[in-house]
Structures are given as C-alpha cells and as structure tokens.
Structure 1
C-alpha cells in the first residue's frame, strides 16, 4: 500500500516567546525598543539598503564603501540575533509549544505515513521535540528538520524578511548554493500528499516561501492542506493558502484547526 507523504512546515507561532530574543538583539544593536512588526520592518530595510548599494555598482563612487558597511552592519545584527536565540534556548526562555507533540502524534507520525519537516525559525527548539518524539515512536533515524531561513548556529545563514536566494549583493556562487539548498530541502514538499502549516502566517514579506508552496500546490498528488494556527488568524491565513492554488484552482481540501484546541 502506497504511503501518504506528510510535510510539516513550522513557523514562529509554534514557539513560545519566539520574538523575545530577537527584540532584545535589536535593542542591544540599535538601542531602540520595538515589536515583532517593527523588527520585520527593520530587517526588510537592511535588505533594501543592501540591494540599493549593490545596484549602484560603479556608477556611484561611494557605493562599494556603503555596500561594505551595510554588509558588516547586517552581519553584526544577525550575529546579535543568533547569540540571543542561543542564550534564550539554553535558558528555556523559548520553547516549542505543547501542541507540537500532539500534532506529531495525531497528524504526522504513523506507519501509514512518510514524513518530513521544515521550519522558518532560526532557533532549534522544535528540532529537539521532533527528534525526541520520532525516536519515542521507535524511529531510530529521524528526518532532519530543514531550516528554510537558516539557523542560529550559523548567523551568516539567517534569512531576513523580504530576502531571497537571488540577491544582487550576493556573488553568483553564493546565490547558486542557497538556491540548491532550497531545492533539496523542499523536495519532500513537492512530493507531499498532505502539507501541514503550523504557526505559519505566510507573511507577504516572505514571497519566496509562498512561491515554493505554490509550486507544491500545482502537483496533482497534493490532496490536502491543514492550517494549524490561532483562531484570530483563520481568515487571513486561509485566504493566503487559497491564493496558492491560483491559477489552477485545484480541488484541494483545506482544513483549519485552532492551535489552542489541540
């Protein structure tokens, strides 16, 4: 009997206090108080300035200097974020929400399923829970959790909001390497019969992720998408998932589950 292929994609909503260390890092680095929305605004601005200075090229004498300064500032900001995430995880200030274990047991781990995992999170709190739960079910070689946006152990790998693989401020070799990693990491999603989105908002700043999911939705073997989020996110996230099916408008079953009820 052919197995279902279940792909679980995890976002910041799956982690308690996910934004707290990021906000602390921004305060330390920029000496300003902000919010998660403000953090996204700041990150996107850093990426925009990198693009602008890279695009100027030789037409503006100061452009190479300003690009170098912007690259260094972005690196130091990422370094601060990674360090605060590591500290927060070591001190259990951030941790996977209890619902993750129940989601794995109810929807993912089964003899009837092949399964794979990906996350947009920079921390590794959900990785630890997934590893523990999969092994608890007797699977000795659990699949690796693919970090779409990089992870805290390599601050250079951190993807910031609005960033994507093909950037003008990267070398061709860097872009090719990142693009290849994304293709390999998302291969399971392209083959999935059921995609589960937990704590994911499909933010417009992450158009690259949305396009990856849209590509998966265009394959005929995908039959079902389950959104697990808070009830107040239902309309917004469900609408964004529906738009992933355009232009084919395939008859894919879409479920919404309030994360607080699991």
Structure 2
C-alpha cells in the first residue's frame, strides 16, 4: 500500500499536442523547421539571454549604431517572446474548445489502477484538460494558458534575466515541496528531455537516497519507454527504486 502517490504528465499524454503550438510558431516565423519545432524556441531563448545580459553596457559601445541596433533587437525579441506566448495560449484554448486537443483515453486506465483519492497531479502541459477531467488542482510546472506570462518555453529555466520579475517564481521549490514524501511516482508521456533540464534537477534533488520513493511507473509509447527509463536512471540519486514500464497503445 502506498501512502503518497504523484503523477507527472507531459506532451505525450495528449495526441497531437504540438499542433496548436506549431500554428502559433507559424504566426510568428516565416519558415519553421517541421522536423524540430524546439529549434525556434531554443534560438529565441538564447538570443534573449545574451541580449539582456549585455544590455546594460550597450551605451558604452564606441559604435553608437551598433548599440542602437542591439537595443532595437532586444526590444523586437521581447515583443516576439510575448506575442508567441499569447498566440500559444490562444491556439491551445481554441484547440481545446473544438476538441482537437484532448487527453489520451489511456489516462482512464492509469486513474483507475494507479491513482488514489489524494494523489498529487503535476503536468508540464500548458492546457487545462486535466483540471476538467479530474476536477482537482493540477500543478502546472511550466505555467498555464490562464496567463501567457506564466508560460515557460522549451529550454527556459526559472531565473531567466529577461522575464518579468513577478513571474520569476520559485517553481522549482514549489514542485519539490509537492513531491516530498512521495513513495510512488507515475510518469506519463513525459520524455525528460535535456531541453527541460530544470525538471531533471528537481527530480534528482527531491528523490535522494533518504527519499521514501519506492516505485516508478513509466507509461509511454513503445519507442519512448526505454529512453525515459535510461534518463531516469541517470538523473536519480536514489538507486533502490523499482521501475515498471507500461506500453501505451498508439
């Protein structure tokens, strides 16, 4: 019998979860690489970090034209950042309304067989489908469509220097607190990609050797399960954990 169960879901728990995000990207970019939709995000986040870091010394540049160009570029990138997040929220809201975006039916199996009445549910997804499904509080690790400013895009971390101060929230501490004393963890459709290295740190720093965590259940498609397992084994400091893998039908 497990005393405290938590489930973390990711994009893989929702078929076609990237369709509204792709449409938002197309609104803001003339040409996006369909083979890797994370590339525009990573490119934008890197530029924002660099431009914001050196913005305080732009006025010291010997070439005033260069300083003006960089100031203008920072403003443009910040506007792109805000507009992209607004468009993501709008596209996801619309996608949920017309039922293009929906939860995988396999979630019902997980709820029935693995979740208890007092289970904690967390997600990296921005939509509110889990709230509607479970009628309970869901912790959004990467923000939600309720407020576009709260969104964390791929490769972003909590302390980005260009984010509005109010939304540089201690999401790491909040998530770690929720996962304290967990003895069973369910991971559903979450790849633990290096693009979200902060989540990997959260899991590593929460589930240490003295953690009560005993069991992890991975639910994913056949071609993803082994990858998630390998990443977990690398990330986690605690080694005496039983890992079960469950294949989710295509």
Trace 1:67-82 onto structure 2 (pairs within 5 A). 67-82=74-89
Q: State the match for 1:50 in structure 2.
A: 48
Q: Distance in 1 between matches of 2:83 and 2:241?
A: 43
For residues 126-168 of structure 1, what are the alpha-carbon distances to aligned partners after superposition, in whole Å with 9 as ceiling and x for unaligned?
Answer: 221122xxxxxxxxxx4x1011111112111111111001112
SS of equivalent to 2:4? strand
- Per the alignment, residue 139 of structure 2 pairs with 146
Gapped regions of structure 2 (runs ≥ 5): 59-66
CA distance in 2, matches of 1:16, 1:126: 14
Structure 2 match to 1:137: none
The normalised TM-score by structure 2 is 0.89
2:63 aligns with: none
Mapped contact 1:217–1:244 kept (Cα < 8 A): no
Q: Secondary structure at the match of 1:96?
A: coil
Query: Within 5 A, what are the aligned runs for 1:200-239?
Result: 200-218=190-208, 219-239=210-230
Q: Could you tell me which of 122, 138, 155 is aligned with 1:162?
A: 155
TM-score computed with the length of structure 1 as normaliser: 0.85
- 8 Å contact 1:216–1:222 — kept in the other structure? no
Secondary structure of 1:4's aligned partner: coil
Q: State the number of aligned residues.
A: 240
Label 1:145 to 1:174 Cα distance change in 2 as closer, same or farther (>3 A): closer
How far 1:23 sits from its partner (Å)?
A: 0.8
Is this contact kept in 2: 1:15–1:125, CA < 8 A? no
Per the TM alignment, residue 225 of structure 1 is displaced from its structure 2 partner at its CA by 1.2
Conserved? CA contact 2:203–2:236, under 8 Å: no
The answer to whether 1:122 aligns with 2:112 is: no
Deviations 1:179-211 (CA, angstroms, capped at 9, x unpaired): 1x4422442212211111000000101000111
Residue correspondence of structure 1 range 1-262 to structure 2 within 5 A? 4-35=3-34, 38-60=36-58, 61-62=67-68, 63-110=70-117, 114-131=118-135, 142=136, 144-170=137-163, 174-175=167-168, 178-179=169-170, 181-218=171-208, 219-246=210-237, 249-260=238-249
**Secondary structure of 2:6 counterpart:** strand
Cα contact 1:190–1:215 (8 A) shared by 2: no
Question: Secondary structure at the residue paired with 1:27?
Answer: helix
